[in-house]
Amino acid sequence: MSKKKILVLGANGKTGKRVVDRLQLRNDVEIIMGSRTAKTPFDWENPETWPAVLSGADTVYITFQPDLAVPAATEIIKEFTVLATRLGVQKMVLLSGRGEKEAQVCEEIVKASAKNWTIVRASWFNQNFSESFFLEPILAGFVALPRAEALEPFTDADDIADVVTECLLNDKHNGQTYELTGPELLSFPEAVSIIAKATDREIQFQSLTLGEYIQMLREYQVPEDYIWLVNYLFEQVLDGRNSSITNDIEKITGRKPTNFTTYANETAKSGIWNIVDVQNQ
């Protein structure tokens, strides 16, 4: 019996690396790593790298960097998905943004191009606090963000990876769109407070206007394309449209999604939030 060849794009990313870990436990799957650092490199910005990783792939997990909402995404996704189908890909699973109208345009492109498809929507990950842009402020003990009142069902990347892996392997999910959420709604100050308790540290939270936050990012010389995306997410997505909970994770995995306190307690044990005294190194 031949192995199913699955291309995982963003294989080093928050969900991609977790999907790879799960697929590596199976004997009936051959994984093709899709990243700029892979043996056969893949780069969204260089279409010449696409055919080599697509060659022989049966199924593709699509994660797009930096986000499907950026203006260039639609043309890139269209070019990629048309090529993938032409080269024999039978199924595509797309990680999309929950509540992002621009991302939904990309979803429709995938649906039109792919022989079979599954859409997995998610919004803010728990791991944004430990593996992404909120890590440095957490370590500094001072988090300043806009939209402090917004309620978000923070979703764990391990739960997302479990769902994606199931969708990649099981054709019963073909033609389905899933919206993934955690089991509770939390504000950013509440999430930071939970991390402070898990780490036994004092972490202050300051509410900013969006304009103040953008100015702060510019003072830290954050790249303008990243600032554009942050502005979009805080201005458009955190307007209450995602302040609801679904049961799709439980429906697909048969278990409750991970709550934020469990995530915080387990992550605290890893030491990622430990303050390192560089003077003593």
What does each C-alpha distance from 27 to 64, 88, 174 come to in angstroms?
A: 27, 22, 22
Determine the average pLDDT of the residues in 174-202. 98
Question: SS3 string of the chain?
Answer: CCCEEEEEECCCCCCHHHHHHHHCCCCCEEEEEECCCCCCCCCCCCHHHHHHHHCCCCEEEECCCCCCCCCCHHHHHHHHHHHHHHCCCCEEEEEEECCCHHHHHHHHHHHHHCCCEEEEEECCEHHHHCCCCCHHHHHHCEEEECCCCCCECCECHHHHHHHHHHHHHCHHHCCEEEECCCCCCECHHHHHHHHHHHHCCCCEEEECCHHHHHHHHHHCCCCHHHHHHHHHHHHHHCCCCCCCCCCHHHHHHCCCCCCHHHHHHHHHHHCCCCCCCHHHC
Determine the average pLDDT of the residues in 101-119. 97
Question: How confident is the model at residue 37, as a pLDDT?
Answer: 96
Determine the average pLDDT of the residues in 201-218. 95
163: CB partners within 8 A, 6+ apart = 120, 178, 180, 248, 249, 252, 253
Determine the average pLDDT of the residues in 151-177. 98
**If you search the block for the tokens 């010389």, which residue do you land on?**
221
Question: How confident is the model at residue 196, as a pLDDT?
Answer: 98
Whether 221 shows a pLDDT value over 50: the answer reads yes
Determine the average pLDDT of the residues in 195-208. 97
pLDDT tens figures, 50-97 = 999 999 999 999 999 989 999 899 999 999 999 999 999 999 999 999
pLDDT above 70 covers a percentage of the chain that reads: 98
Q: 34 has which bridge partners? A: 9
Question: How confident is the model at residue 10, as a pLDDT?
Answer: 97
Mean pLDDT of the chain: 95
Whether 272 shows a pLDDT value over 50: the answer reads yes
